[in-house]
Amino acid sequence: MKILLINDDGIHAPGLWAAAGALRHAGDVFVVAPDREQSGVGSSLTLRAPVRARTATVDSVLTAGEEATGQVTAHVVEGTPGDCCVLALERLVGSVDLVVSGINSGSNLGWDVMVSGTVGGAVQGFVRGFPTIAISVGSVRDPKFEGAAHLLRLIAQRFAENTPTNSLFLNINVPSLPLDQISGVQVTTLGGRSYGESVREEGVEPNKRYTIARDRAISGDAQEGTDIWASKNNRISITPLHIGLGHSEQVPEIERLLSGLPDQLLSSRD
Q: Which residues of the shown chain bind Mn ion in the complex (CB under 5 A)? A: 8-9, 39, 104
* Closest CB to Mn ion among residues 104, 188: 104
* Closest CB to Mn ion among residues 104, 231: 104
Smallest gap, in angstroms, from Cβ of residue 102 to Mn ion?
Answer: 8
* Closest CB to Mn ion among residues 213, 265: 213
* Closest CB to Mn ion among residues 13, 96: 13
Half-sphere exposure for 258 (CA within 13 Å, toward CB): 9
* Closest CB to Mn ion among residues 140, 254: 140
Distance CA 113, CA 169 (A): 12
Smallest gap, in angstroms, from Cβ of residue 239 to Mn ion?
Answer: 17
Smallest gap, in angstroms, from Cβ of residue 45 to Mn ion?
Answer: 17
Smallest gap, in angstroms, from Cβ of residue 262 to Mn ion?
Answer: 44
For residues 177 and 147, the answer to whether their CB atoms sit within 8 Å is yes
Beta-bridged to residue 208, according to DSSP, are none
Return all residues near 80 (Cβ < 8 A) that are at least 6 apart: 8, 34, 38, 41, 44, 45, 46, 117, 120, 121
Distance CA 1, CA 155 (A): 13
Smallest gap, in angstroms, from Cβ of residue 265 to Mn ion?
Answer: 44
Smallest gap, in angstroms, from Cβ of residue 104 to Mn ion?
Answer: 4
Nearest residue to Mn ion, by Cβ distance, number only? 39
**What would the DSSP string read from start to end of 25-52?**
TTSEEEEEEESS--TT-TT----SS---
SS (H, E, C) 48-116: CCCCCEEEECCCHHHCCCCCCCCCEEEEEECCCHHHHHHHHHHHHCCCCCEEEEEEEECCCCHHHHHCC
* Closest CB to Mn ion among residues 39, 176: 39
